[in-house]
Amino acid sequence: MSGHSNWPEWIYVGVVIALMVWVGAEAWETERLIEHVPEDAKTIIVTGQQWFWTFEHEDGTKEIGELHVEVGKAYKFEVISKDVNHSFNIHDYVVLMDAIPGRVNTVWFAPDKVGEHDIQCREYCGLIHYNMRGTLYVTEPLS
Amino acid sequence: MTLELAKPRPIWQIMFSTHHTDVGLLYLITSLTFLFLGGSLALGIRAELFYPGSQIIADSMTFNRIFTVHGTTLIFLFIIPFASAVGNYYVPIMVRYKDMAYPKLNAIAFWMIPPAGVLIWLGFADFTWYATPPYSIISAPGPAADMWIFGLKILGISSVLGALNFVVTILKCKHPDMSIGQIPLMAWAFLSSSLIIIVAIPTFAAALLMLLTDRLGVSGFFNPAMGGDPIAYAHLFWFTFHPEVYVLVIPAIGMMYEIIPRFSRKPIYSYNSGVFAFVMLSIVGFSSWAHHMYATGMSFTEKTVFMVGTLAAVPASAMHVFNFVATMWNGRIRFATPMMWAVGGIALFFSAGAGGVVNSAMPLDFTTHDTYWVVGHFHLFVMGTIAFGSIGYLYYMFPYVTGRMYNETLGKIHFVMSFIGTVLVFFTQHILGLYGMPRRIYDYPPIPEWIAMNQIASVGAMIIGISMVIFLANMIHSSGKGKPADTDDPFGLGGKYYYPFEAKNPSH
Ligand code: HEM
Ligand SMILES: [Cu+2]
Ligand SMILES: [Cu+2]
């Protein structure tokens, strides 16, 4: 290199590379685990459109702007859009999936506590994007 | 060495000139004008978000138009023209040539920018700086959207022409006595960023045309109602614009390579590693574009590939930081204004990169994506690193351009306020993102944490705004009335080493 010895830089680059390998490996392992949808997950069809969310349960019941699920069960969301791109988001459960016309994207979660959480749109979709919000209600199992 | 003729000339002589320093001056004035215009929009956004409910902006449509034009302006009409300004002034001198390789083409590339700026500002589109379909096809109102598309088209051509000129000037016109391994690192920066432009821009240029014909209804490339695919646009867009982020940042790093060694009064720690890191970034920068698309429903394999591609570029960025710190180590540092900006910029560059690594890790990105975290992340680059490097360099070149000295105290006040402001705005936005606030929203529910953090960010923005007024006053006043600078050594650094390019300003 430029005349003088450069070992501090080599060590530094080595450390950075090691860190990146570690971040990558952890991320890979975690993502692999969380992408595995449980067999018994119930399907909910999530439709985004300007500017509200519709949820359709397996039994055909529909909800607008509100979603009721039972604690301790796994749910698989099939996220679709009727017009432009949106992004379905329950921030408290790190659920995030784009709703893109012409595609069905899936994401799942299993709420572990009774409670209420915000649902929002996280992809710009126009005029009322800022208020394309809803509420998730996690309730005790009915039966 | 003075870069600009001390004797004043009528403005039209500069406007119709093709000489590189004149074109550089035109670029400089244009870019600073747009810095202030675009910056004012940012203050509007921050004022609106100070508190839930409508504050100063009447409706969400106006708000959406404002952040769209804010982003477009600062990326394409401030950062890129500013780099061209510096490149025009310095690259020919650094390679010891009398001008740019193609002076007329150079002037043409510049003159495409003002009309593009006018189109973007008169249109005031609302579809964000990435114009994603199908919104941009079926929902975004014209003619604003179409004017934006034409504006960007023109800017794309302008950057490609400018880039070709830099590449030819550096590779073909450099003095025969000089090898490519002897050109200053800033010239390497311009070579690398220009090569990225030439490879990256055509893809987006094609996508823009397809978007336009889609809007006209004669094609359906990205319109699902006509069998098209919006994801295809996202790929074309990010294939251009992830590399483009390096186009933005590399010249600023190059400017820091000019400032840091001089004001540390030490040679650069390792020239070779600086060159290596620039070349690496411009190659590896092409392997990571879809890290912007983790949430679009990509397969696990695709996500993994782009995560690896993103992480692979990190060591090269980190090498620059090391090089700067190692250069300053044991140096006789003089913290004049340009040095303060450069050092502050490096600190923010490091923080920005650390946040970028978090985004790259796929599971973590589902927390940060499209929240204020991402806004904080890239602003630590565009504002914290690029604007800081650029402004530092502007102070540095000021005496060479004007023959006069700026006011040092005001320069330092400008830095301190901007640094504090930048930390307040953009570090806070990272946290706000972790609390889940989406970006690009006109209004938000009154969640106490969201309100508090928005207020901190708005105060920070105000501080930056005030410091920019001080900056403007300093520049305008000092360029006419500042005390005459010793153009051999305006910063009193002493020693000939620190001005290695004994450049003669070619007579006009
Ligand atoms: C250490 C290097 C970097 C890493 C690891 C990194 C990583 C990332 C990732 C993964 C994203 C996507 C975040 C998301 O949308 O969820 C992102 C966004 C972004 N980054 Fe970086 N980045 C780096 C350097 C840069 C540089 C040098 C710039 C330049 C100026 C930059 C500008 C941006 C911009 C503009 C966006 C967001 C664009 C938008 O959504 O509007 N990044 N970065
Ligand atoms: Cu939305
Ligand atoms: Cu990127």
Q: What residues of A are in contact with residue B257 (Cβ under 8 Å)? A: none
Beta-carbon contacts of residue B294 (< 8 Å; ≥ 6 apart):
B303, B306, B362, B365, B366, B369
Q: Are residues A30 and A67 in the same domain?
A: no
Q: Does B6 map to a domain?
A: no
Q: In this complex, is the C-beta atom of B307 within 8 Å of any C-beta atom belonging to chain A? A: yes
Q: Does B354 map to a domain?
A: yes
Query: For residues B78 and B74, what is the distance between their CA atoms, to the nearest angstrom?
Result: 5
* Residue of chain B whose Cα is closest to the Cα of A2: B270
Q: Are residues A9 and A48 in the same domain?
A: no
Q: Are residues A32 and A48 in the same domain?
A: no
Report CB contact under 8 Å: A83, B138: yes
B379 lines ligand 1 (CB under 6 A): no
Q: Does B149 map to a domain?
A: yes
Q: In this complex, is the C-beta atom of B139 within 8 Å of any C-beta atom belonging to chain A? A: yes
| Confidence band for A2, pLDDT divided at 50, 70 and 90 | very low
Q: Does B261 map to a domain?
A: yes
Q: Are residues A71 and A49 in the same domain?
A: yes
CA of B122 to the centre of ligand 2 (A): 26
Q: What residues of B are in contact with residue A25 (Cβ under 8 Å)? A: none
The beta-carbon contacts of A55-62 under 8 Å, at least 24 apart in sequence, are: none
The number of C-beta contacts closer than 8 angstroms across A and B is 149
Which range, of B9-18, B213-222, B435-444, B446-455, averages the lowest pLDDT?
B9-18
Q: What's the gap in Å between the CA of A50 and the closest CA on chain B? A: 10
Q: Are residues A18 and A55 in the same domain?
A: no
* Helices and strands of chain A, counted as H and E runs: 1, 10
* Residue of chain B whose Cα is closest to the Cα of A129: B441
How many domains are there within chain B?
Answer: 1
List the beta bridge partners of residue A99.
A86
Q: Are residues A13 and A65 in the same domain?
A: no
CA of A138 to the centre of ligand 2 (A): 23
Q: Does B498 map to a domain?
A: no
Report CB contact under 8 Å: A91, B367: yes
Nearest-by-Cβ selection for A126 from B135, B311, B438: B135
Q: What residues of A are in contact with residue B134 (Cβ under 8 Å)? A: 83-85, 101
Q: Whose CA is nearest to atom 42 of ligand 1?
A: B378
Q: Are residues A55 and A26 in the same domain?
A: no
Phi, psi for B446 (deg, rounded to 5): -75, 65
Q: What residues of A are in contact with residue B64 (Cβ under 8 Å)? A: 124, 126-127, 129
Q: Does B491 map to a domain?
A: no
Higher pLDDT, B10 or A114: A114
H-type helices in A77-128, by residue range?
A: none
Q: What residues of A are in contact with residue B300 (Cβ under 8 Å)? A: 31-32, 35
Q: In this complex, is the C-beta atom of B322 within 8 Å of any C-beta atom belonging to chain A? A: yes
H-type helices in B124-179, by residue range?
A: 144-172
| Confidence band for B3, pLDDT divided at 50, 70 and 90 | low
Report CB contact under 8 Å: B361, A124: no
B365 lines ligand 1 (CB under 6 A): yes
pLDDT tens digits for range B92-145:
999 999 999 999 999 999 999 999 999 999 999 999 999 999 999 999 998 999
The pTM of the full predicted model, rounded to 2 decimals, is: 0.94
* Helices and strands of chain B, counted as H and E runs: 18, 0
Q: What's the gap in Å between the CA of A20 and the closest CA on chain B? A: 6
pLDDT tens digits for range B274-330:
999 999 999 999 999 999 999 999 999 999 999 999 999 999 999 999 999 999 999
| Confidence band for B508, pLDDT divided at 50, 70 and 90 | very low
Q: Are residues A59 and A32 in the same domain?
A: no
| Domain ranges, residue A66 | 42-139
Find the helix or strand (DSSP H, E) in which B313 lies: helix B300-328
Which B positions 239-268 lie with beta carbon below 8 A of chain A?
Answer: none
Q: Are residues A8 and A62 in the same domain?
A: no
Q: Whose CA is nearest to atom 1 of ligand 1?
A: B353
Considering chain B, what percentage of its residues have pLDDT values greater than 90? 88
Query: For residues B221 and B231, what is the distance between their CA atoms, to the nearest angstrom?
Result: 10
Q: In this complex, is the C-beta atom of B441 within 8 Å of any C-beta atom belonging to chain A? A: yes
CATH number of the domain where residue B373 is located:
1.20.210.10
Q: Does B493 map to a domain?
A: no
Q: Does B418 map to a domain?
A: yes
| Confidence band for B267, pLDDT divided at 50, 70 and 90 | confident
Hey, of A17, A34, A122, which one would you mutate to test binding to chain B, going by the most B CBs within 10 A of its CB? A122
How many domains are there within chain A?
Answer: 2
B324 lines ligand 1 (CB under 6 A): no
Considering chain B, what percentage of its residues have pLDDT values greater than 70? 96
Per-residue DSSP letter, A42: E
Query: For residues B195 and B156, what is the distance between their CA atoms, to the nearest angstrom?
Result: 14
Report CB contact under 8 Å: B295, A31: no
Any idea which ligand is nearest the CA of B247? 1
Q: Are residues A66 and A127 in the same domain?
A: yes
Find the helix or strand (DSSP H, E) in which A118 lies: strand A115-121
Q: Are residues A60 and A7 in the same domain?
A: no
How are strands ordered across the β-sheet holding A75-81? A62-64, A52-56, A42-49, A75-81, A105-109
Q: Do residues B353 and B314 make contact, with C-beta atoms less than 8 angstroms apart?
A: yes
| Confidence band for B453, pLDDT divided at 50, 70 and 90 | very high
Q: What is the pLDDT of residue B36?
A: 98
Q: Are residues A32 and A10 in the same domain?
A: yes
| Domain ranges, residue B458 | 11-481
Q: What is the pLDDT of residue B500?
A: 44
Report CB contact under 8 Å: A126, B296: no
B359 lines ligand 1 (CB under 6 A): yes
Q: What is the mean pLDDT of residues B31-59?
A: 96
